[in-house]
A and B are shown apart, each in its own frame.
Chain A
Amino acid sequence: MGLTPEDLLARVAALLPHATVLPLGDTRGQAVVVVAVDRAEASLRALRDESALRFDFLADLSAVDYHGRTPRYEVVYQLASHPHHHRLRVKVPVDGPDPVVPTASGLWKSALWAEREAFDMFGVRFAGHPDLRRILMYPEFEGHPLRKDYPLNQRWPLVPERDPITEPWYPRTEGR
């Protein structure tokens, strides 16, 4: 096993002086840190590259919609370290009708698809993502189903059938 959660949080706090470290008593003993959105990219990069922490594995990225609360959304990164075997949860609160978070896909490639899903389900945009489009829902879908204000019984009319040749879902190769 790697560092204890106490040691891990002490190191994280030293590395990220602007971040808020949540007390372990409130988090069931799991290491959690809250980072402001404008410092998110630099913080994640530091966590990945710092040799004592080495969070080289982005296990998961998702969002939570705390409807009725400000800031409304939280983008949640589950980081883990293969060399040291420790885990850290990074939460980035973000608000507004069109929430934007910098992409982590330059740091971990697993963020490429995870961010597409968070965008699809919550409408959180990831600035700098090379290919931000829906992944689980179809392109014609309107709204973001995991938002708390998405109507549960929403039904959409059937999507008109697309001709995949004339209207492909991905950009066509140039210069044919």
Chain B
Amino acid sequence: MRRVPGSTAPEQFYENQRGDDEIMEIQMGPSHPASHGTIKFNLKLDGETIVEVDVEIGYLHRGFEKMCEQGTWNHCFPYADRLNYASPLLNNVGFALAVEKLAGLETPERCQYIRVIAGEISRISDHLTCLGMGASEIGALSAGFYMLEAREFLYDLVEAITGARLTVTYCRLGGVTNDLPHDMRERTATAFASVRNVVRDCDKLLSRNRIFVDRMAGVGTLDRDEAISLGLTGPLLRAAGVEYDVRKAYPYLVYDRLDFMVPTGSNGDNYDRFMIRMVEIEQSMRIVEQALQQIPDGPVMANDPRFVLPPKHEVYGSIEGLMNHFKLVIEGQKVPAGEVYVATEGGNGELGFYLVSDGSGRPYRVRVRPPCFYAMGAVGRMLQGAMIADVITTFGQVNMIGGECDR
């Protein structure tokens, strides 16, 4: 090999550049084009291998818990939408269930079915967002856009139910704001047919794609015991082989009347997490279809003047209705003093609300157990010894939602 006189041989050049024990520090984020969400990874690298990673969160902290303490219980519902903005209905339902447990309020059966239907539609859109974004971040752009298109069909359904696409605020203490549209079954059938097509296409595009599998399999692995100890829930925990789904373990609403399967993985890596979400999309669609078959007729709001606003004709037509309305709006619902922890299965895992009431019309303390906060706490462990490119796939499958993680 000819060499310019006086230049260094390539092997000599690299020898000079890199000591054996040199650790390079790189700060990735907080605004990185390949990570959906503002988050910073402080990486310590040996070459391209990650020695240690310190995950820095908090960029989207808006004081959700403090804000909730300032208003009445009903004021918290719009805030709850904005926790996990990929599946706002699930947060809405979770918060409503927690307050109702604290208030000792029973909701009508039709309302419970509606909450299941709305929540599961949201879960599908949450999973589609996670998978589509995760795929497009590692180059599978078309699969990403297909999945976003499928999410659009579901947003149309959500819009038909609630009137809004994202900021739904659909639940109330004691029920939901309005009934399902009369042609809900037909709309759902049309939307789900399109979603199933997209999921089938994306399954063909990704699940056995050599490049995709190489990027995902064996990456970000956590074993069973460690996943439990780190407090993982949802698809991340199920990928590690633990069959834990709040809907099955502690059934709420009408989930015990519906037939669905909880998929579990065996390797606890990103590929298992991906496949579990793919399977859960189909299971959620089955739940919605069964619920639409079983749903009874009846009211969608509980009839309890202590917590539920009276119908408008009573507000305008009778003095009792007007007074009731005024007291509820100005003073808030007087939820009896006490505390309660209610967990539901959110899009990313166990979404818990720990509420403390002092008997006044305002919450004394609202604590959210955000599933992806704990998942982000585990990312440092998942990435140890991985390559720098694995940050993207692992972060994609953890599906951090800033609104929920940072609150």
Contact = CB atoms under 8 A, between A and B. Distances in A.
Given A59-B350, A87-B250, A170-B54, A146 B373 contact: no
Contacts of B367: 60, 62, 64, 76
Interface of B: 21-23, 25, 27, 42, 44, 54, 56-58, 61, 63, 65-66, 70, 101-102, 104, 226, 228-231, 233, 242, 244, 249-250, 338-341, 343, 350, 352, 354, 356, 364-365, 367, 369, 373-374, 376-378, 381, 406-407
Nearest to A81: B249
Contacts of B44: 173
B58 A137 contact: yes
A30 interface: yes
A109 B226 contact: yes
A27 interface: yes
Contact of A108 (B231, B350, B364, B373): B231
A20 interface: no
Contact of B244 (A60, A76, A82, A173): A82
A103 to B, nearest CB: 14
B320 to A, nearest CB: 30
Contacts of B244: 82
B61 A112 contact: no
A89 interface: yes
30 contacts: A28-B102, A28-B340, A30-B341, A56-B228, A56-B229, A59-B231, A59-B233, A59-B350, A60-B354, A60-B369, A62-B367, A78-B369, A82-B244, A109-B231, A109-B381, A110-B229, A110-B377, A113-B376, A114-B231, A114-B377, A117-B373, A121-B65, A136-B58, A145-B63, A164-B27, A168-B25, A168-B42, A169-B42, A175-B21, A176-B22
B56 A169 contact: yes
Nearest to B23: A173
A60 B352 contact: yes
A58 interface: yes
Question: Which residue, of A28, A82, A87, A134, has the highest number of chain B Cβ atoms within 10 A?
Answer: A28
Contact of B66 (A57, A108, A145): A145
A34 interface: no
A136 B231 contact: no
A168 B102 CA distance: 45
B369 A135 contact: no
A85 B233 CA distance: 14
